[in-house]
Amino acid sequence: MAVRGCVTLLFILLSGIVYADVLVTSSIPAASTPSKHTSAVTTPLPTTHHNTTNSTTEAPTTPHHNTTNSTTEAPTTPHHNTTNSTTEAPTTPHHNTTNSTTEAPTTAHTNATTAPTPPPTSSPVPNPTVGNYNVKSDNDTVCLLAKMGLQFSFKMSENASFQTLNLDPSPNVTEVNGTCGSGGSDSSLVLKSDEITVHLVFTNVSQKFRLHALMLSVNLTNGNVFNASNNNLSLWEASVGSSYMCKKEQSYNITDKLTINTFELQVQPFAVQNNKFNTAHECSMDDTSLLIPIIVGAALAGLIFIVVIAYVIGRRRTYVGYQTL
């Protein structure tokens, strides 16, 4: 028993000696490894100054980590530079291309829309200003009164379009002249401006007056002159001692090239008393305000009459039927 114990103790002792020797032997090549690694690291010194500095500083501490750091940092730095360069380069041309493409079709679309725009049409001529005119005799007595707004539409030739002008009644623009009619003679009214001259002639026949003749002359801006006249008119007729009035707009064809429009017309070319218009004879256009109610009343009266006749006839037929039974 004592011998077994001694043998076991001896075996354990030998095993410990062998294990210790193995440990010592394995640590010797590990210690020699740094010298080889150092020589390997020292070799690239002339190549890159940064790698040599990092390797020399970190070599004594952990050779393995030193190599890892060198390998990790080297690709990291160029990777970020490459990424930045690649990102910025396509960004700039991309925006330029977008702006250029957007502006080009916009400009073309605007031009295409503007091109077919029709030319502006001329605005309509407004109604003329109403003027008050009078003609005096030699003893400074008014013998002719007129109140009206005058508008002239004319054309220079058959194929030309009509032009429209208004007569300005302002005293500093239009000059008023005329003649007084007495003893069967005619009376006249002449309105003259730098642009328009109109001559109205009234005649007295059987105690009734009328507009007998009209002459018009227009000086155009291009130097041409328009002239038109009609000496066989029968307009604005009323009894001597009264006036002719037509408040509504009236249009008269004087010739095939001249039409005049009157607004708020009232004239009295003969027998003016107290410098004012006498009783007015209204035109047919103004009489329509009374004519319409008369027509409506007559139509209603006729309808009532028809209803009454139909009722009487119906009652008589019913009465005859009763007698037969």
Q: How confident is the model at residue 99 (pLDDT cuts 50, 70, 90)?
A: very low
Task: State the pairing for strand pair 258-268/163-166.
Answer: unpaired
For residues 170 and 193, what is the distance between their CA atoms, to the nearest angstrom?
10
Contact partners, residue 164, CB within 8 Å, separation at least 6? 125, 151, 152, 153
Q: Is the pLDDT of residue 267 over 50?
A: yes
Per-residue confidence (pLDDT) for residue 281, from 0 to 100: 92
For residues 82 and 324, what is the distance between their CA atoms, to the nearest angstrom?
127
DSSP secondary structure string, 226-285? EEEEES---EEEEETTSEEEE-S-EEEEEETTEEEEEEEEEEE-S--BTTB--SEEE-HH
Higher pLDDT, 73 or 216: 216
Q: Is the pLDDT of residue 215 over 50?
A: yes
Q: Do 99 and 119 touch, CB atoms closer than 8 A? A: no
Higher pLDDT, 147 or 296: 147
Per-residue confidence (pLDDT) for residue 197, from 0 to 100: 96
Q: Do 254 and 230 touch, CB atoms closer than 8 A? A: yes
Q: Please tell us whether the domain made up of 131-280 is placed in CATH 2.40.160.110.
A: yes
Q: Is the pLDDT of residue 68 over 90?
A: no
pTM for the full model?
0.53
Average pLDDT over residues 38-62: 40
Helix (H) or strand (E) holding 161: none
CB-based burial label for 195 (10 Å; 0-12, 13-18, 19+): middle
Q: Do 255 and 226 touch, CB atoms closer than 8 A? A: no
Average pLDDT over residues 11-36: 54
Q: Which segments of the chain does DSSP mark as H helices, in order?
A: 2-42, 49-58, 63-114, 284-324
Q: What is the distance in angstroms between the CA of the first residue and the CA of the last residue of the chain? A: 172
Which amino acid, 147? K
Higher pLDDT, 10 or 313: 313
Per-residue confidence (pLDDT) for residue 317, from 0 to 100: 73
For residues 142 and 124, what is the distance between their CA atoms, to the nearest angstrom?
37
Q: Is the pLDDT of residue 191 over 70?
A: yes
In the block, tokens 């007084």 appear at 180
Enumerate the β-bridge partners of residue 276.
273
